[in-house]
Amino acid sequence: MRLLERARKEWFMVGIVVAIGAAKLEPSVGVNGGPLKPEITVSYIAVATIFFNSGLSLKTEELTSALVHLKLHLFIQTFTLAFFPATIWLFLQLLSVTPINEWLLKGLQTVGCMPPPVSSAVILTKAVGGNETRSCCALTGPELIL
């Protein structure tokens, strides 16, 4: 009885183990073109569902109050999308005179221009007891509205 109770409590981990076991036994189900069509379901449906669920978990009052902090949002967007990529570009200009592999520099440039993953930022903010509504609005901007 105690094992069943523990499995109910840890249902997500049990589900992950079952999914991994099923994938090991029958890997052809999840390949491109297979029955699950991961090229469509993962790329489009799963991402949209994650953002939609994240938006549903926000309280409307908190969302409204977070949206009025325009200076904060402008600062975060400018820092994330302009200052940080420019800083990385300058750093890469310094590294380009060294014998570092050209493809490594191109990879660093690509990663330096990418904004942080929104879901990770919201989850980490929530984990430390922060205001996830404010972090979500500041990081996502127009992507929040689906």
Mean pLDDT confidence for 58-79: 82
Same domain, 137 and 75: yes
**110 has a pLDDT exceeding 80:** yes
In this predicted structure, what is the pLDDT of residue 132? 63
State how far the Cα of 47 lies from the Cα of 44, in Å rounded to an integer: 6
102 lies in some domain: yes
40 lies in some domain: no
Same domain, 66 and 123: yes
In this predicted structure, what is the pLDDT of residue 136? 56
What is the residue range of 7's domain? 1-30
In this predicted structure, what is the pLDDT of residue 144? 40
- The two tokens of residue 35 are 């029955």
128 lies in some domain: yes
- Reported confidence tier of residue 95, pLDDT bands at 50, 70, 90: very high
82 lies in some domain: yes
49 lies in some domain: no
Same domain, 67 and 118: yes
In this predicted structure, what is the pLDDT of residue 79? 85
Domain count, the chain: 2
- Reported confidence tier of residue 91, pLDDT bands at 50, 70, 90: very high
End-to-end CA distance of the chain: 43
> pLDDT tens for residues 112-139?
877 766 656 666 777 777 766 655 555 5
Supply the pTM of this predicted model. 0.46
State how far the Cα of 38 lies from the Cα of 127, in Å rounded to an integer: 30
> pLDDT tens for residues 47-56?
888 778 877 8
Spatial CB neighbours of 33, under 8 Å, sequence gap ≥ 6: 39
**Torsions phi, psi of 76, nearest 5?**
-65, -45
22 lies in some domain: yes
**17 has a pLDDT exceeding 60:** yes
Higher pLDDT, 67 or 40: 40
Same domain, 64 and 15: no
Cα dihedral 19→21→23→24 (10° resolution): 170
Mean pLDDT confidence for 78-98: 89
52 lies in some domain: no
